[in-house]
Amino acid sequence: MAAGYWVKTGPPKGNPKLTQYDKDKITASFSQIIEDFKKEYINENPNLEMNYLVDIYPSWRSNYFYLCEKYRYGKDRQLSGEFEDKFVRLQFIGKNCCHISFMRYTGQWVLFAESQTIDECREMIVSMPYFHPVG
């Protein structure tokens, strides 16, 4: 009977940790897209009877970068205040490599493309309506 022993296999596989510097740099690279979306999708004179878009902004959670929409409840709702909806998700699997997903109307994320560069993701977000705010 052979004796058992432990074998070191290296670091666990998974997503690399992004530093705050990396996150700030990535966030800054999306600032123009966010500003363009705000100009296009936020109405200066919204219909106050319905929920309406008031802001578009970035958000991070671990290695996930989101583009988010903030809405205000319309007057016909008994609720008051605001709510958030995410519409784009980038899952970083490397320093300049990520999977890109969009939020489907069913509330489920749809993986659109894997192993894309940040530049490729920015181009997709600008050019494809799947990645635009519902507004």
Q: What is the pLDDT of residue 131?
A: 96
Using one digit for the tens of pLDDT, what is the confidence trace for 50-80? Answer: 888 999 999 999 999 999 999 988 776 666 7
Query: Is 8 among the domain residues?
Result: no
Number of C-alpha atoms within 13 angstroms, CB side, residue 119?
0
Using one digit for the tens of pLDDT, what is the confidence trace for 108-121? Answer: 999 999 999 999 99
Query: Is 72 among the domain residues?
Result: yes
Query: Is 7 among the domain residues?
Result: no
Query: Is 4 among the domain residues?
Result: no
Cβ within 8 Å of residue 82, ≥6 positions away: 54, 70, 71, 72, 73
Total domains present in the chain = 1
Cβ count within 10 A of residue 1? 3
Query: Is 6 among the domain residues?
Result: no
Range(s) of the domain holding residue 115: 20-131
Global pTM reads: 0.83
